[in-house]
Amino acid sequence: MTEPLVTLRLGWHVVVRNWMVYRKDFLANISPTLADPALILGSLGLGLSPFVGQIQGHSYAQYLAPGMIATTALFTAFFESSYGFFVRMTFESVFKAMLTTPIGVSEVVLGEFMWVFIRAALMALGVAMVLLLLGLLPNLWALIVAPFVAGTLALPCAAIGLLAASWVRNINQFQTVYSFLIAPIFYLSGVFFPVPEKSWLAAIVQLSPFYHGVKLLQFTVWGHFPLGEILIHSSALMAFAVVLALCSFHRMDRKMTS
Amino acid sequence: MSAPLVLSARSVAKRFGDFEALCALDLEVKTGECVGLLGPNGAGKSTFIGCLYGVVQRTGGELEVFGMDPAGQARAIKRRIGVVPQENALDEGLTVLENMRIYARFSGLKKASADERILQLLERMSLETKRDATINTLSGGMKRRLTFVRALLADPELLILDEPTTGLDPSVRHLLWETVTSLRSQGKTILVTTHYMHEAEVLCDRIVILDQGKVVAAGAPRELIAQETPGYVGIFSGDAQEDIRPHLKADWEFFHQGHQCCVRAPAFDDLLELQKSAGVDALQLRPANLEDVYLKLTGSELKQHD
pLDDT in tens, B159-189: 999 999 998 999 999 999 999 999 999 999 9
CB pairs under 8 A between A and B: 76
Q: What is the ipTM of this complex?
A: 0.90
Mean pLDDT across A160-183: 95
With 90 as the cut, is the pLDDT of residue B239 above it? no
With 70 as the cut, is the pLDDT of residue B303 above it? no
* Torsional class of A213: left (φ above 0), alpha (ψ -120 to 50), beta (otherwise): alpha
How far is it, in rounded angstroms, from Cα B298 to Cα B40?
A: 7
pLDDT of residue B300: 54
Q: Which residues of A touch B57 (CB under 8 A)?
A: 257-258
Q: pLDDT averaged over chain A?
A: 94
Residue of B nearest to A89 (CA): B89
Is A97 in contact with B89 (Cβ distance < 8 A)?
A: yes
Distances (CA, A) of B306 to B261, B270, B284: 11, 18, 21
Mean pLDDT across B98-109: 96
Q: Nearest to residue B111, comparing CAs of B96, B97, B91?
A: B97
* Residue B239 in contact with partner chain A when CB distance is under 8 A: no
Which CATH code for domain B231-287? 3.30.70
With 50 as the cut, is the pLDDT of residue B306 above it? no
How far is it, in rounded angstroms, from Cα A246 to Cα A224?
A: 32
Residue B94 has its nearest CB partner, among A6, A24, A100, at A24
* Least confident segment among A53-67, B1-15, B181-195: B1-15
Q: pLDDT averaged over chain B?
A: 92
Q: How far is B34 from chain A (nearest CA, A)?
A: 20
Distances (CA, A) of A49 to A39, A54, A60, A72, A192: 14, 8, 5, 22, 12
Residue B182, burial from CB neighbour count under 10 angstroms (0-12, 13-18, 19+): exposed
Is B78 in contact with A24 (Cβ distance < 8 A)?
A: no
Residue A231: which pLDDT band, with cuts at 50, 70 and 90? very high
Q: With the CA atoms of A71, A44, A27 and A93 taken in that order, what torsion angle do they form, in degrees rounded to the nearest 10?
A: 40
Q: Which residues of B touch A93 (CB under 8 A)?
A: 85, 87, 89
Residue A20 has its nearest CB partner, among B78, B102, B160, at B102
pLDDT of residue B256: 87
How far is it, in rounded angstroms, from Cα A158 to Cα A203?
A: 23
pLDDT of residue B304: 39
pLDDT of residue A217: 98
* Residue B143 in contact with partner chain A when CB distance is under 8 A: no
Give me the residues paired with residue A154 across strands. none
* Residue B72 in contact with partner chain A when CB distance is under 8 A: no
Report DSSP letters for chain A, one per residue.
Answer: --HHHHHHHHHHHHHHHHHHHHHHTHHHHHHHHHHHHHHHIIIIIHHHHHHH--BTTB-HHHHHHHHHHHHHHHHHHHHIIIIIHHHHHTTS-HHHHHTTTT--HHHHHHHHHHHHHHHHHHHHHHHHHHHHHTT----TTHHHHHHHHHHHHHHHHHHHHHHHHHH-SSGGGHHHHIIIIIHHHHHHSSSSSPPPTTSHHHHHHTT-HHHHHHHHHHHHHHT---HHHHHHHHHHHHHHHHHHHHHHHHHHHHHH--
Mean pLDDT across B58-79: 95
Second CATH level (architecture) for the domain B1-80+158-167+188-226: 3-Layer(aba) Sandwich (3.40)
Helix (H) or strand (E) holding B273: helix B268-278
Give me the residues paired with residue B82 across strands. B159
pLDDT of residue A3: 86
Residue A34: which pLDDT band, with cuts at 50, 70 and 90? confident
Is A21 in contact with B93 (Cβ distance < 8 A)?
A: yes
Percent of chain B with pLDDT over 90: 77
- Contact predicate B190/B184, CB 8 Å: yes
Query: Which segments of chain B belong to CATH 3.40.50.300?
Result: 1-80+158-167+188-226
Q: Which residues of A touch B106 (CB under 8 A)?
A: 10, 13, 98, 101-103
Query: Which segments of chain B belong to CATH 3.30.70?
Result: 231-287
- Contact predicate A235/A217, CB 8 Å: no
Residue A24 has its nearest CB partner, among B78, B85, B93, at B93
Q: How many CB atoms lie within 10 A of CB B153?
A: 22
Residue A1: which pLDDT band, with cuts at 50, 70 and 90? low
Q: Which amino acid belongs to residue B69?
A: D
